[in-house]
Homo-oligomer: A and B are copies of this chain.
Amino acid sequence: MAETRSVDTRERILDAAEKLFTANGFDGTSMRQITGAAGVNLASVNYHFGSKEALVQEVFRRRLAWLNTERLRVLTAMEQAAGDKPLKPSQIVEGFFGTLLGMAQDESRGGVTFLRLLGRTLTDPADFIRTFLADEYQEVVERYKAALFKALPDVPRAEIAWRFHFMLGATSYAIAGTDALRLVTDWQVDEEDATDRLDRLQPRLMSFLLGGLRAPLPKF
């Protein structure tokens, strides 16, 4: 079996697709663009993945599998270290969103490219994407939600769930929109260079998220 060739082709396709999907969206990227950029034959996507839909899913699966495993690993480690005591909210937030933002520095795990793609895709309307992402996220979200419930026993659970939702949104958007539409940051942040901006994004975002999580409850 000629395995080296096929493994190479698969990854070349996934890398090219990841970049192009980020730049132009799923529907905005054709199979010919992907195979062209990857330097492989047009038919190889269907040969290796079956369809374009399956390719999209595999682009996410190879990154999310690691991310969510890592998230669970971190949470489990923290919980074991804490014994019976609840974790600090800042630990939990750091465990969930810190692992995500850490991928930005790791080019071998997709770097900023994948993060931008993920951030944008969380609101994609396509059915097969929604159900696929929901499946990939289900376990890790349940575990982290449970940790937050335990850490904040006095806060109504529905309230915590919503704030988790808000935190996810702020994070996705912070990443997806960094270059995308420079609405808010514009000349304000151009002083800093791009890498510096990314390094400082994490502490900035963490402060914001924790501030939101610990905000006084709304009075209805």
Measuring CB to CB, which residues of chain A are less than 8 angstroms from any residue of chain B? 22-28, 119-120, 122-126, 130, 133-134, 137-138, 141, 145, 157-159, 161-174, 176-177, 180-186, 188-189, 191-192, 200-201, 203-220
Contact = CB atoms under 8 A, between A and B. Distances in A.
A188 B157 contact: yes
A137 to B, nearest CB: 5
B120 A125 contact: yes
Contacts of A172: 123, 169, 173
A123 to B, nearest CB: 4
A14 B131 CA distance: 29
Contact of A162 (B119, B145, B204, B219): B204
Q: How many copies of this kind of chain does the complex include?
A: 2
A208 B162 CA distance: 9
A122 B122 CA distance: 13
B205 A166 contact: yes
A64 to B, nearest CB: 13
A27 B125 CA distance: 11
Contacts of A134: 181-183
Contacts of A201: 162
B177 A165 contact: yes
B170 A123 contact: no
Nearest to A22: B125
